[in-house]
Copies of this chain bind each other. A is one copy, B any other.
Amino acid sequence: MDQLSRVFGALADPTRRDIVARLTRADATVSELAAPYDVSLQAVSKHLKVLEEAGLVTRTKDAQRRPVHLEAEVFDLVNKWIERYQRQAEQRYQRLDALLDELNERDTRNSTEGTAS
């Protein structure tokens, strides 16, 4: 699977988004991350694995704590994709607007010519 699909997939879950949100403030261990949720440590580990496979988080090799670290630059992947197609959609509406303006103008011209002849 491509990374963009993995990133979107990883962010498609509210618990995983919450984990990402908390990691923007500070690195945290799995048990620190699990504390506020009513789920098992295993469930949180699974969520972290999905985030890790998407490149959104990494774990340091520090054997005791192994804190989870957010790789915030991955957000740029999503940003780039969204921005590109958002711009393309806007340009389309601008073209439609311009076309409508032109049609309106032509209409006005035609009806003026109509009264003149």
Chain B residues positioned under 8 Å from A82 (CB to CB): 75, 78-79, 82
Chain B residues positioned under 8 Å from A20 (CB to CB): 85
Q: Which of B4, B8, B17, B25 contacts A88 (CB 8 A)?
A: B25
How many chain A residues have a CB neighbour from B under 8 Å?
29
Task: Please give me the residue from chain B that is nearest to A86 by CB atom.
Answer: B75
Q: Is the CB of A17 within 8 A of B81?
A: yes
Chain B residues positioned under 8 Å from A9 (CB to CB): 8-9, 12
In the complex with contacts A5-B13, A9-B8, A12-B8, A24-B75 CB distance below 8 A: no
Q: How far is the CB of A98 from chain B (nearest CB, A)?
A: 15
Instruction: Please list the residues of chain A having a beta carbon within 8 angstroms of any beta carbon in chain B.
Output: 2, 4-6, 8-9, 11-14, 17, 20-21, 24-26, 70, 72, 75, 78-79, 81-82, 85-86, 88-90, 92
